Amino acid sequence: MQCRHFTIHLSPQQLAEDEGRLNMFLSQVEVHSVKTSLVAPKGERWSVLVFFEQRASAAPQPPQQPEEALSAVPSLLAPELSAEEQRIYELLRAWRGERAKADGVPPYVIAHNAALLQIAQHHMSLAAAEDFAPLKRFGAQRAARYGADILQLLLLRPAAGEEPLFDDDYAR
């Protein structure tokens, strides 16, 4: 078994490139386990250790430009989403970014991408803040803190080109 270390910087400028490099590597090896740790005084980066074996059929590939690497690697999180689920997922990511900025915290503190994907996939069955608690990587505290805001977003945001279902004066 072999081990390789990756650093994932959380700054927007470096995050996509670091994730692309890690995803490209993961697509070429047989992963046994992964260990992660938030590093630095304010958590500016993740340290990732990947324990792996070389795949028998993995032939060395020529290095790619970062843009090519990112487009060649399928997302590890993104399952097949319907157009509506994809729209909701993007709305949730935008909301999370705004909320994180307002609270002065990184977006993953609000919710992980995996939790946002689950919310997008199960949005029709979410009717109360408590319904978010069983979602993996969301939990009761986040449900209590952010559930009502997310429900408001899900209920009042129209699809692109549609009129709102409710006028804001009456929806409150």
Q: pLDDT tens-digit profile of 106-148?
A: 988 898 888 888 888 888 878 888 888 888 778 888 888 998 8
Residues in the chain: 172
Q: Report DSSP state, residue 14.
A: H
What's the Cα-to-Cα distance from 153 to each of 91, 96, 159, 160, rounded to whole Å?
A: 8, 11, 12, 14
Average pLDDT over residues 23-35: 86
Domain residue ranges in the chain: 2-72, 83-156
User: What is the per-residue pLDDT for 99?
Assistant: 92
Task: Report the percent of the chain where pLDDT is more than 90.
Answer: 8
Q: Which CATH number fits domain 83-156: 1.10.760.10, 1.10.150.80, 2.60.40.10, 3.40.50.970?
A: 1.10.150.80
Q: How far is CA 154 from CA 38, 64, 91, 127, 146, in A?
A: 32, 39, 9, 10, 12
Instruction: Report pTM.
Output: 0.48
Q: How confident is the model at residue 85 (pLDDT cuts 50, 70, 90)?
A: confident
Residue 59 pLDDT exceeds 80: no
Give buried/exposed letters for 90-102 (b at 16+ CB in 10 A, else e): ebbbebbeebbee
> Is pLDDT larger for residue 105 or for residue 171?
105
CATH architecture of 2-72: 2-Layer Sandwich (3.30)
Q: How confident is the model at residue 102 (pLDDT cuts 50, 70, 90)?
A: very high
Do the beta carbons of residue 143 and residue 129 sit within 8 Å?
Answer: yes
Inter-residue contact 109 to 100 (CB < 8 Å): yes
